[in-house]
Amino acid sequence: MRGTNGAMKGLTGLFAVLIVALHTSVPLRAQTGARTSEPTRTGAAQDSVVRPTVLVIATGGTIAGVQSAPGTMGGYRAGTLTAEQVISSVPELARHARVEAEQFSNVASTRITPAQWVALARRIETVLRERPEIAGVVVTHGTDRLEETAFFLYLTVRSDKPVVVVGSQRPATGISPDGPINLLAAVRTAASPHAVGKGVMVVMDDRILSAREVRKQYQRVGGFTVGEMGMLGVMASDGPEFFYTPARRHGASSEFDVSTVDSLPRVELLFSYPGGTGPRFETLPAGVVVATTGFAPDEGTPFRVLRQKGVVVVTAFPSGDNVNGAPRQNAPQNDSTSVDSARADSARADTSAAAVAARLERAVPLSVVSQHLTPQKARILLMLALTKTRDPRELQRYFLTY
């Protein structure tokens, strides 16, 4: 046992030394969210076999994280290794693809902003349009915000070529890091012709997950899930095996073109809760998404007032797993006169609180219902939909389509 333990400690130490050597031998560039001018080509095959070209766009995160004390359970700095260093640590990539590296940013994913979502989507679309030889794109990303970035790309990258978002739960210099095997699976998926048309995917722990459904359930290996929807496929020894295809609109058929979008509308994310009294804003947002299973007694009026003032209100189930039908489709009366009329009518008709509330509800724009989306993903869809319309009926169509 002593000999075995000594050998294991030696291997762990050796891997840590290799990662640190890579970290110190390749110069780092300043990372601010802007891409490098040209991708770096690495991992070329050593034989004459023609392999598909895959572009790896690095944004930082744990998969590029380095510890102060490598090979331990200690803390680390996310977004430290460059794209080239991360790729060079997985020589096996060269057996499956001709891999190119591009540095988009090098930060913890909590620092990724909506403006960077737009820039990243534009970059991927440009690459896939201008370089037809590229089979697919892999985006390395921190896991804290991975599901949001992946869903934004799912909605905005108008191509059927594979785009795979990948990360890790352990840093590159940690004990038994999961980044290398995740990256290998992601590149093999992006290089596969079977991945075409599947929409943006997240590949983690040999599981191929749709970006629409994926969510980070916990901060450990295996922490990404799609709930009841099921995986698109798995990474087998011979490559990716697919069993399902997303049914909601995505990819080349998407209506969302961010090439002309300068900024995304402000949308706030709120929670409904027992005893809640509803939101108060000094400056009104364009829209709000409220995570709720049903409003508390004092919450309904503030949200109705927001709608009367032109703020779009979307309701989403906190778990993201519920599916409700769209709200009523009567013609809304948007102006203040109709609201006053509804109040006047209430004095002449049924004066019960429920009846008055129902009449006031009919006098303001419709709310929008999110179907099987987590609240944070419903916010992303609303941000994009508001770049095209503020009509509640049309907004509801987007939520029933995507």
pLDDT digits 0-9 by tens, 79-92: 999 999 999 999 99
Q: What pLDDT does 216 receive? A: 93
Provide mean pLDDT across the span 245-263: 95
Q: What pLDDT does 47 receive? A: 62
CA distance 256 to 151: 13
Looking at residue 258, what DSSP letter applies? G
Q: What pLDDT does 222 receive? A: 87
Helix, strand, coil percentages for the chain (3-state, nearest 5): 35, 20, 45
Q: Which of 151, 109, 172, 41 is nearest to 375 (CA)?
A: 151
| Residue 351 or 137, more confident | 137
Provide mean pLDDT across the span 220-226: 90
| Residue 129 or 338, more confident | 129
- Report which listed range, 9-13, 67-71, 343-347, 376-380, is most confident: 376-380
Active site residue 62: yes
The band of 335, judged by pLDDT with boundaries at 50, 70 and 90, is very low
pLDDT at 305 over 90: yes
pLDDT at 326 over 80: no
Question: Which residue has 């803390």 as its token pair?
Answer: 75
* CA-angle at 72, arms to 66 and 73, nearest 5°: 90
Residue 367: exposure state from Cβ atoms within 10 A (0-12, 13-18, ≥19)? buried
Report the 10 Å Cβ neighbour count for 255.
14
Q: What pLDDT does 153 receive? A: 98
32, 40, 42, 62: which is the annotated catalytic residue? 62
Q: What pLDDT does 358 receive? A: 64
pLDDT at 24 over 80: no
Q: What pLDDT does 217 receive? A: 87
Q: What pLDDT does 49 receive? A: 82
Residue type, position 107, single letter? V
Domains in the chain with CATH codes: 2-253 (3.40.50.1170), 265-329+366-401 (3.40.50.40)
Measured in whole angstroms, the distance separating CA 240 from the mean position of its chain's CA atoms is 21
Provide mean pLDDT across the span 228-243: 94
Residues 6+ positions from 47 with CB-CB distance below 8 Å = none
Taking phi first (over 0 means left), then psi (-120 to 50 degrees means alpha), and beta for anything else, what does residue 119 get? alpha
CA distances from 38 to 42, 75, 104, 192, 366 (A): 13, 33, 11, 24, 48
CA distance 161 to 90: 24
Give the predicted TM-score (pTM) of the model.
0.82
Instruction: Render pLDDT for 350-384 as a digit per residue (tens, 0 to 9).
Output: 666 666 556 666 768 889 999 999 999 999 999 99
Beta-bridge mates of residue 41: 100
Provide mean pLDDT across the span 339-343: 49
Average pLDDT, the chain: 86
What stretch of H or E contains 271? strand 267-271
Least confident of 9-18, 104-113, 301-310, 367-376: 9-18
The pairing of beta strand 134-140 with beta strand 53-60: parallel
Query: What's the token pair of residue 379?
Result: 């916010």
209 within 8 A of 203, measured Cβ to Cβ = yes
Provide mean pLDDT across the span 282-304: 96
Residue 99: exposure state from Cβ atoms within 10 A (0-12, 13-18, ≥19)? buried
Instruction: Render pLDDT for 387-399 as a digit per residue (tens, 0 to 9).
Output: 999 999 999 999 9
CA distance 107 to 122: 19
Q: What pLDDT does 40 receive? A: 60
pLDDT at 98 over 60: yes
